[in-house]
């Protein structure tokens, strides 16, 4: 097997290390933007957040461990940045309400099916911790242990947040807990169900 000679413990970073790190970071920018958007809703604020996180990640590149998940690492930086900004400038309750409202209009795609809109509204009603955990697993493609690392919680906590988020989202969509243009959310659930059947048929 391999000997100690192959152990890549180096104390000096090379320009090549930086180049590799930089191109990996550039590839992560779209994902960091998406995660930032899901955290703070407003596209402009989200880009500010993603930029701050990108600069932080670049500055901290020496502390990134080769071979670990750089996407998770960058998301963790971004999330920490978000919550430290939030502590500095907003009261939590206020933010959640504002974030919820902004999230509703964050992606303005008239071609998007109705249910996408309803989904966004339902998501906005979840507690922030559950929302981010669900988004990381459901959209970011992270495993629970990665979510735990990003959110600074135990793996079991990450799992329970995701499952509570799924249940709550389902409840909101089924029970018609909100209305849109006078239309009950059960319409949204019907739309989602017909989508589900279509998916099932496509399998």
Partner 1 sequence: MNDDKEDEEGRPSQPKDADDMIDHRPRSESLKAATAFDEGHLRQQAIGVRLRQMFDAVVNEEVPDEFLEILRRADERGSEPG
First to last CA, the chain: 44
- Closest approach of Cβ 81 to partner 1, in Å? 14
Burial class (CB within 10 angstroms; exposed 0-12, middle 13-18, buried 19+) of 36: buried
In contact, 130 and 21? CB cutoff 8 Å: no
DSSP state of 50: H
Does 171 help bind partner 1 (rule: CB under 8 A)? no
Binding residue (CB under 8 A) for partner 1 from 18, 68, 152, 186: 18
Strands 179-180 and 183-184: antiparallel
Cβ atoms 167, 133 nearer than 8 A? no
87-106 binders of partner 1 (CB under 8 A)? none
Q: Which one of 134, 148, 150, 151 is in contact with partner 1 (CB under 8 A)?
A: 134
Q: How far is the CB of 91 from partner 1 (least distance, A)?
A: 27
Q: Going residue by residue from 105 to 124, which x/- string records binding to partner 1, judged by CB under 8 A? A: --x-x--xx-xx--xx--x-
Which residue in 120, 42, 36, 116 sits closest to 80, CA to CA?
Answer: 36
Residue 54 sits in the site that holds partner 1 (CB under 8 A): yes
Q: Which of 87, 94, 141, 183 binds partner 1 (CB under 8 A)?
A: 141
DSSP letter (8 states) at residue 183: E
Smallest distance from partner 1 to CB 55, Å? 5
Residue ranges of alpha helices (H) inside the chain are 15-40, 43-59, 70-89, 92-105, 114-124, 128-138, 144-151, 155-175, 186-202
Out of 17, 51, 98, 125, the residue judged to bind partner 1 by CB under 8 A? 51
* Position 154 contacts partner 1 (CB under 8 A): no
Point out which residues bind partner 1 (CB under 8 A): 18, 22, 25-26, 29-31, 33-35, 37-38, 47, 50-51, 54-55, 58-59, 107, 109, 112-113, 115-116, 119-120, 123, 134-135, 138-141, 166, 169-170, 173, 189, 192-193, 195-197, 199-203
């Amino acid at each position: 097997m391999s000997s100690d000679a192959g152990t890549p413990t180096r104390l000096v970073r090379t320009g090549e290390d930086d180049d590799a790190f930089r191109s990996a970071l550039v590839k992560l920018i779209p994902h960091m933007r998406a995660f930032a958007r899901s955290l703070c809703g407003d596209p402009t604020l989200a880009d500010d957040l993603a930029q701050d996180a990108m600069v932080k990640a670049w500055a901290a590149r020496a502390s990134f461990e080769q071979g670990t998940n750089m996407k998770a690492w960058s998301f963790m930086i971004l999330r920490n940045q978000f919550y430290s900004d939030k502590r500095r400038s907003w009261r939590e309750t206020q933010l959640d309400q504002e974030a919820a409202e902004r999230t509703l209009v964050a992606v303005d795609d008239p071609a998007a099916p109705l249910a996408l809109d309803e989904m966004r509204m339902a998501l906005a009603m979840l507690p922030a911790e559950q929302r981010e955990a669900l988004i990381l697993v459901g959209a970011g493609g992270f495993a629970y242990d990665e979510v735990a690392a990003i959110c600074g919680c135990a793996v079991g906590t990450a799992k329970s947040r995701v499952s509570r988020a799924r249940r709550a989202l389902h409840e909101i969509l089924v029970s018609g807990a909100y209305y849109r243009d006078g239309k009950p959310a059960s319409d949204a659930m019907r739309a989602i169900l017909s989508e589900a059947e279509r998916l099932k048929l496509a399998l």
